[in-house]
């Protein structure tokens, strides 16, 4: 199946270059230079991934990401010319799955796209073919891997693909400590990990907020300082 990827970037040269590299990898690309023009495509096309520039005319990439997350769970990769940490945190909090700072190498972006699609295929119900270990339950928390649904005390929790992946890994490794590096490399299939990278930390914090969990008195995700995270058996 040919995966469908949305690109929204008002810098024509960058959008055209990314389109060229993705087309060369066999992806079907829907390219737009403004968020307003992309909205109709988002509603009509069953997309597999979106690449959004943060600084867009009119509707920002952050706002477009928020609109996508109101209805869809496919991965979102944010692009920005800024290096400010607040932009990264804002994007991840709104539901983005990955983040790249301009200028970037097109081949690196392609690698990120492939990693996100691999993870999405693995955890998305439309791609999952077997029902092995399809339901994981723990202390009022129920995760249905096949339908990509998660419930806490019978209340549905809306998780992004990355949040779903992190929580599934922690539940499957229940009782064991999983390092941020292991989570990062498992989810993104990327061997390069820098200890200053706080992507996992932001996603863990957002998970805790959705689960009404706390760092000080965790019921589910416990931080093992200097080591990683665990869910007690």
* pLDDT confidence of residue 195: 53
What's residue 149's pLDDT?
87
> Domains, the chain, ranges and CATH?
4-123 (3.40.50.2300), 135-231 (1.10.10.10)
Quote the pLDDT of residue 89. Answer: 66
pTM over 0.85: no
At residue 197, the pLDDT reads 59
Q: What is the pLDDT of residue 117?
A: 87
Average pLDDT by consecutive 10-residue portion of the chain (233 residues)?
Answer: 93 96 95 94 95 93 92 90 66 79 89 84 53 76 87 90 90 91 78 62 91 90 92 88
Q: Which 3-state string (H, E, C) describes the chain?
A: CCCEEEEECCCHHHHHHHHHHHHHCCCEEEEECCHHHHHHHHHHCCCCEEEEECCCCCCCHHHHHHHHHCCCCCCEEEEECCCCHHHHHHHHHCCCCEEEECCCCHHHHHHHHHHHHHHHHHHCCCCCCCCCCCEEEECCEEEECCCCEEEECCEECCCCHHHHHHHHHHHHCCCCCECHHHHHHHHHCCCCCCCCCCHHHHHHHHHHHHCCCCCCCCCCEEEECCCEEEECC
């Amino acid at each position: 199946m040919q995966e469908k990827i949305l690109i929204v970037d008002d810098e024509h040269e960058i959008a055209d270059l990314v389109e060229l590299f993705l087309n060369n990898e066999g992806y079907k690309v829907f390219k737009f230079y403004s968020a307003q023009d992309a909205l109709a495509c988002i509603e009509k096309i069953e997309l597999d991934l979106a690449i959004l520039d943060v600084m867009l005319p009119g509707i920002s990439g952050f706002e477009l990401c928020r609109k996508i997350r109101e209805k869809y769970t496919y991965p979102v990769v944010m692009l920005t010319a800024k290096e400010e940490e607040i932009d990264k945190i804002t994007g991840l909090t709104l539901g983005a799955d990955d983040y790249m700072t301009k200028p970037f190498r097109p081949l690196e972006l392609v690698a990120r796209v492939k990693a996100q699609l691999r993870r999405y295929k693995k955890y998305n119900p439309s791609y999952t073919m077997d029902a092995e270990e399809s339901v994981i339950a723990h202390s009022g928390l129920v995760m249905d891997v096949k339908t990509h649904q998660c419930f806490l005390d019978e209340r549905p929790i809306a998780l992004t693909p990355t949040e779903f992946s992190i929580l599934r890994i922690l539940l499957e490794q229940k009782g064991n400590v999983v390092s941020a590096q292991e989570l990062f490399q498992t989810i993104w299939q990327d061997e390069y990990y820098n200890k200053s990278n706080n992507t996992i930390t932001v996603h863990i914090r957002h998970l805790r907020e959705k689960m009404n969990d706390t760092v000080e008195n965790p019921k589910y995700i416990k931080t093992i300082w200097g080591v990683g995270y665990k869910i007690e058996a």
